Amino acid sequence: METIIARTIFFATLYGKDTNSALPLLNLLDILTIENTFKFQAFKFIHNWHIKKLPSIFTNSVTYAKDIHSYNTRYAFKDNIHKVRTRTNIGKQTIASLASELWQELLTDLKNLSSNCFSKQVKQHLLRKQSYP
């Protein structure tokens, strides 16, 4: 913990005057932004659904695209979630809508990892995508 505090103080004194964003500091300390933290938690929820580790109440909350129709598409082949049609912003904020959008971003290799490996790999994936605005 002292190392993190020392790095933070060093970075703040060295770059603080010229930096308008905390993103370089977050990247230095391997900390996700608020948006990426939300995505990370959503990915973990969807992955737990994917590996069937959620309570049964969530079983029908989302559906795979391959379960909707009988023909094979590239979208369905990658274990993506069926995109529900929504007309309102409230509908776009439901777990089914968010899950289909977020889950599509992940590589198929990441989707099929165990829970422990999944968390580590997805965090690294999000940290790599996190860049200076």
Interatomic CA distance for residues 108 and 22, integer angstroms = 32
pTM (2 d.p.):
0.76
The residue with tokens 């060295």 is: 14
- Give every CB contact of residue 80 below 8 A, 6+ residues apart in sequence: 64, 65, 100, 103, 104
Taking only the tens place, the pLDDT of each residue in 22-71 is 787 788 888 899 999 999 999 999 999 999 999 988 888 888 888 887 77
Q: Domains of the chain: which residue ranges?
A: 1-31, 34-129
CA distance 128 to 133: 14
Q: Report whether 86 contacts 75 (CB < 8 A).
A: no
